[in-house]
Structure 1
Amino acid sequence: MPLFSDPPNKLDPRVTRTRKMLREALMALLEEKAYERITVADIADRATVNRKTFYLHYETKDHLLQSVTDGILDELFGEAKAAQPTDLSIDEMQSYIAERTFAYVKKHRTFFEVMFERKAMTDFVQYMKRYFARFYEEKFANIDESRLSVQKDVIASYIGSAYVGVIHGWLNDGMRQSPEEMTRQMILLNLQGPIQTVKNSQ
Structure 2
Amino acid sequence: MGSIDRRVARTRGLLQQALVKLTAEKGYTAVTVEDICRQANVGRSTFYTHYPDKDCLRKAAIEDHLKPLQSRNTSLGLQPSTKGFSFSRSVFEHALATRAMHRALIGGTKRETPEEIHDWISQQVRRELTDSSGHHESRAELEIATRFVVGALLEVMHWWLDHDANISPADIDRTFQKMVFDGVQTALDAPTDAGG
CA distance in 1, matches of 2:96, 2:155: 15
Matched-pair contact (CA < 8 Å) for 1:133–1:156: yes
Secondary structure of the residue aligned to 2:87 is helix
Q: What is the aligned-residue RMSD (CA, Å)? A: 3.6
The question of 1:129 aligning with 2:118 is answered yes
Map of 1:60 onto structure 2: 53
Distance 2:115 2:109 in 1: 12
Q: Are 2:21 and 2:104, in contact at CA under 8 Å, matched by a contact in 1? A: no
Q: 2:36 corresponds to which residue?
A: 39
Amino acid at match of 1:58: Y
State the one-letter code of the partner of 1:52: S
Q: Report the secondary structure of 2:83's partner residue.
A: helix
Extract unaligned runs of 5+ from structure 2.
187-196
Q: Distance in 2 between matches of 1:152 and 1:141?
A: 8
**Structure 1 residues 172 and 129: CA distance shift in structure 2, 3 A:** same
Partner of 2:74: 82
Partner Cα separation in structure 2 for residue 126 and residue 26 of structure 1: 20
Say whether 1:117 aligns with 2:114: no
- Aligned twin of 2:83: 91
C-alpha separation between the residues in 2 aligned to 1:56 and 1:141? 43
Whether 1:144 aligns to 2:145 is: no
1:70 is displaced (CA, Å) by: 2.9
CA distance in 2, matches of 1:103, 1:134: 19
Distance in 1 separating the partners of 2:93 and 2:78:
22
Where does residue 94 of structure 2 map in the other structure?
104
Decide whether the 8 Å contact of 2:92 with 2:173 is kept in 1: yes
* 1:55 Cα offset (Å): 1.1
Relative distance call for 1:59 and 1:102 in structure 2 (3 A) is same
The equivalent of 1:155 in structure 2 is: 145
Segment of structure 1 superposing worse, 128-137 or 149-158 = 149-158
- Return the alpha-carbon distance in structure 2 between the equivalents of residues 86 and 104 of structure 1: 15
Task: Supply the AA of the counterpart residue of 2:147.
Answer: S
Aligned length: 174
Q: Which runs of 5+ in 1 are unaligned?
A: 1-11, 197-202
The CA distance in 2 between the partners of 1:185 and 1:52, in whole Å, is 48
Hey, what's the Cα distance between the residues in 2 that align with 1:42 and 1:172?
A: 24
CA 1:129–1:39: 2 relative to 1, 3 Å: closer
2:98 counterpart letter in structure 1: H
Query: Displacement of 1:169 after TM fit?
Result: 1.2
TM (norm. structure 1) is: 0.65
Please report how far the alpha carbon of residue 81 of structure 1 lies from its aligned counterpart in structure 2 after TM superposition.
Answer: 4.4
- For the structure 1 residues 69 and 118, does the alpha-carbon distance in structure 2 shift closer, same or farther, using more than 3 Å as the test? farther
Change in Cα spacing, 1:144 to 1:55, as seen in structure 2 (3 Å) is same
The alignment status of 1:71 with 2:68, answered yes or no, reads no
Percentage of identical aligned residues: 16
Q: Which residue of 1 aligns with 2:165?
A: 175
